[in-house]
Amino acid sequence: MKETVIQFGEGNFLRGFFDWFLDVLNKKGLYDGKAVIVQPRSGGKVAGLNAQGCKYNLYLRGIADGEIKEEHSVIESVSRCVDPYIDFEEYMTLADNKDFRFIVSNTTEAGIEYDETCDFSDKPCKSFPGKLTQLLYRRYENGFGGFIVLPCELIDSNAEKLKECIVKYARQWMLGEDFISWVEKENTFANTLVDRIVTGYPSDETREKHPDDKYLDTAELFHLWVVEGDFENELPLKKAGFNVVWTNDVKPYKKIKVRILNGAHTSMVTGAILSGVETVGECMGDKIVSAFLEKCMNEEILPTIGDNEDSRKFANDVFDRFKNPYIKHRLRSIALNSVSKFSVRVLPTLLEYKDKNRAYPKCLTMSMAYLIYFYKNDTPEDSAEVVEFMKNKSISEILGNTAFWGQDISDLTEIITDYYEKTEKLGAKGAMEWIVTQ
């Protein structure tokens, strides 16, 4: 079977989302192609995946039509994995294969960034866009056509921002206007929106069924992929029965998903961790945490983004998905890179609520106080620079860091400090119980 997809990211999400799509397409005879996974950061999982032939078990579990259901498959859509940090030339030779048509990525919200310290001679560049620019330039030099680029990072206009970074690198590295023209004319950068809770390696008895599979993956049944453009002729996802939307504008879908589903996760996660809760399911079964989440949703998020039939239905579906008995979605997994996630998923709603109501929303503001408290007093997983800044700077300095939030929000200092001190005095759960009654 041909290799037709270059995939940046070996994490649980893409393996439980796009690689599953590709596997089903191949097994239904609707497609003939496999993915090559490129490790976007040093020290990733690709060596282990290669060791088990890039095959792994995937379990999809949840509630469908009122019934609990489980689906199991062996994913065989990945042909091999490449680590550019170990063998840069193996990575670059991907540009020499004309069969590659699609590029898919998920490198977290922080992955699509322009790092001016990257150099064309790096082997490889530190940033994902830098690595991709290196690959595209070799493709261009070969005289081949471009790619359809489908980034799955959860940021607005993900494909447009990725292309902007590539063009910046092309200019910085003086790769020529002809190359820039080729990037813009011969490649299609399609903004996308993804939605599926992928819980990764299970903590329950499922792992006992496959003791040798170190990359066993689990996810919910629900999935959604919204893509700007229509590539059904080349990638017949709708024909295969997937919940895929080809559209001219992903923004309306994205706002609902990011603000409701991801906003619910991120507004709840650090306070719940500090309260001793470990999973999303446990949050829904905890009277205080679930009340906090419901107040965030019903009194602050929905009224701000538009409390209509569609958004209300999506919110209700989200609560049902959070209650999925099969999902042991660990809060510390959700809390990875929480600062960048908060700035995208929660802060816009918080600020829009303030504009509409001339007062900050109590629960969402408390969630920001929890975020700061978590970074100062717990063990957050984030870049060393972010963790150091959050731990050592004052609340005012944190809120004034425009690199974190996109603007100076230090006018929140007084209320955040008050909520932070409430957390110190009452404990996270006590502060949560207090804010729910306000």
Q: Tell whether the model's pLDDT for residue 434 goes beyond 90.
A: yes
Q: Which tokens go with 357?
A: 């109501």
Whole-angstrom distance, CA of residue 45 vs CA of residue 86 = 13
Q: Which pLDDT score, from 0 to 100, does residue 265 have? A: 95
Q: Which pLDDT score, from 0 to 100, does residue 131 have? A: 98
Global pTM reads 0.75
- Determine the average pLDDT of the residues in 320-342: 90
Q: What's the pLDDT tens digit per position in 28-64?
A: 999 999 999 999 998 888 999 999 999 999 999 988 7
Q: Which pLDDT score, from 0 to 100, does residue 435 have? A: 97
Q: What's the pLDDT tens digit per position in 382-410?
A: 999 999 999 999 999 999 999 999 999 99
Q: Which tokens go with 68?
A: 């609990």
Q: Please, are residues 46 and 82 in contact by the beta-carbon 8 Å criterion?
A: yes
Q: Which tokens go with 388?
A: 């150091």
Of the ranges 135-139, 266-270, 303-307, 426-430, which one carries the lowest mean pLDDT score? 303-307
Confidence tier at 205 by pLDDT (50, 70, 90): confident
Closest CA to 106 of 46, 50, 160, 159: 159
Q: Which pLDDT score, from 0 to 100, does residue 28 have? A: 98
Closest CA to 435 of 295, 316, 230: 295
Q: What's the pLDDT tens digit per position in 229-287?
A: 999 999 999 999 999 999 999 998 888 888 999 999 999 999 999 999 999 999 999 99
Q: Please, are residues 133 and 166 in contact by the beta-carbon 8 Å criterion?
A: yes
Q: Tell whether the model's pLDDT for residue 66 goes beyond 80.
A: no
Whole-angstrom distance, CA of residue 42 vs CA of residue 263 = 30
Q: Which pLDDT score, from 0 to 100, does residue 219 have? A: 93
Q: What's the pLDDT tens digit per position in 81-132?
A: 999 999 999 999 999 999 999 999 999 878 999 999 999 999 999 999 999 9
Length of the chain: 438
φ/ψ region of 264 (left if φ > 0, alpha if ψ in -120 to 50, else beta) reads: alpha
Q: Which pLDDT score, from 0 to 100, does residue 111 have? A: 93
Closest CA to 327 of 191, 239, 174, 202: 202
Q: Which pLDDT score, from 0 to 100, does residue 310 have? A: 77
Closest CA to 373 of 410, 426, 305: 426
Tell me the three state secondary structure of residue 393. coil
Q: Tell whether the model's pLDDT for residue 328 goes beyond 80.
A: no
- Determine the average pLDDT of the residues in 169-175: 98
Whole-angstrom distance, CA of residue 121 vs CA of residue 162 = 20
